[in-house]
Amino acid sequence: MTNTTLKKISEVLGVSISTVSRALKNHPDISEKTKTKVIELAQTLDYEPNANAIHLRTNNSNLFGLVVPTISNYFYDAFIAAIEEDSRQQGYSLIILQSGDDPVIEANNLKICRQNRVSGVFACITPATKDMQPFQKIFAMGIPVVFFDKVPDLANCHRVCVADTAAAALAANALNNTAVKHVLAIFGNPTMSISKKRLQAFSGALQPETQCTIGYAYNSEEAIEITAKHLTASKKPDAVFCMSDEILTGAMKAIQIAAWLIPKQIKVIAISNGFFPNLYHPTITYVETSGYRLGKLAFSKMMTCLSGDTNTAELSLPCTLVEGGSL
């Protein structure tokens, strides 16, 4: 069945196409009687306006693009939920694109955003993103980009992040209040600004007399290997700090395989969205970094960008310590 067109409606009612178009837009020059007839027939025929034509004419799609590493991550799932909720309330739709942490796929996703003439883009860059040219093309079209979570070291761009420095320092101070002597601290990709910020803050806040061994894990599988290796070393850690939920799940699997008791044999603390720490017994103490609240902050930033605000100061989301039974 072909889509109902303005021409079809005009033919049935015996009016011009321009009259039908203006009636559907509630134009004041069209009588209420004609508007009623046009709208009733359009509803009966299930008429839907050509979105692509509207985009071309108005240069406004009322569509946001969201480029995220994966939707299976609980943090990003919560972030997406917040963006979708606010977008819907403000009359926008959302196109969600996964990069899989691949810069080539990320560039293709940005091309899709350009082709759809999106009103704005929310982007969490990949660890391997070096060439910012795909983003520069978005900027050149006058489309605002709000970077979130994993953000680029790029001047004059809009960024919203969790309070990475404060979160890592809060975790270190929580360990300082225990009797730990040797901490295994596992961070993500060392080239990412989020890893650098958290490493610097954690190391700086940890008591000088506490030995700290640094590890880097790109995924949960590597976190398993790193943790297992140190649990069998001659000098074993008595605490593990996990920079993210993904690292936490890997570290916990290694601890469970080794059958170490928490917190008697080893203490655990993480920076987390809050879902995974509650899956374990005892529950894991964590510094909360809410994906949902970050999404709300990112959407608010996007709306200020669309209103013409050019302030590029980075916004950060406050964090809190949630005590469990792992310390």
**12-26, 87-101, 225-239: which range is least confident on average?**
12-26
The confidence score (pLDDT) of residue 58 equals 47
pTM for this model (two decimals):
0.74
Could you tell me the CATH number of the domain that includes residue 248?
A: 3.40.50.2300
**Is the pLDDT at 7 greater than 90, yes or no?**
no
Enter the tokens of residue 151.
């953000």
Do both 78 and 112 map to the same domain?
yes
Distance CA 188, CA 226 (A): 12
Q: Does 219 fall in a domain?
A: yes
Helices 6-13 + 32-44 axis angle, to 10: 120
Distance CA 52, CA 48 (A): 12
Q: Does 284 fall in a domain?
A: yes
Do both 172 and 272 map to the same domain?
yes
How many domains does the chain contain in total? Answer: 3
Buried b (16+ CB within 10 A) or exposed e, 289-303: bbbbbbbbbbbebbb
Q: What is the mean pLDDT of the chain?
A: 90
Do both 145 and 242 map to the same domain?
no
Instruction: Give per-residue pLDDT as tens, 243-269.
Output: 999 999 999 999 999 999 999 999 999
Q: Does 307 fall in a domain?
A: yes
Facing residues of 158 across strands? 146
Q: Does 326 fall in a domain?
A: no
pLDDT confidence tier of residue 29, bands split at 50, 70 and 90: confident
Q: Does 327 fall in a domain?
A: no
In SS3 terms, 235-264 reads as: CCCCEEEECCHHHHHHHHHHHHHCCCCCCC
Q: Does 55 fall in a domain?
A: no
The confidence score (pLDDT) of residue 1 equals 34
**58-67, 129-138, 145-154, 190-199: which range is least confident on average?**
58-67
Count of residues for the chain? 327
Enter the tokens of residue 73.
């991550």
**Is the pLDDT at 53 greater than 60, yes or no?**
no
Over residues 197-201, mean pLDDT: 96
Do both 241 and 273 map to the same domain?
yes
Do both 171 and 284 map to the same domain?
yes
Q: For residue 24, give its domain range.
A: 6-49
**Is the pLDDT at 59 greater than 90, yes or no?**
no
Q: Which residues contact 273 (CB under 8 A, 6 or more apart)?
A: 74, 75, 78, 245, 288, 289, 290, 291
Instruction: Give per-residue pLDDT as tens, 181-194.
Output: 999 999 999 988 88
Do both 282 and 296 map to the same domain?
no
Helices 74-89 + 291-306 axis angle, to 10: 40
Do both 205 and 281 map to the same domain?
yes
Sort strands 120-123 and 63-68 into parallel, antiparallel or unpaired: parallel
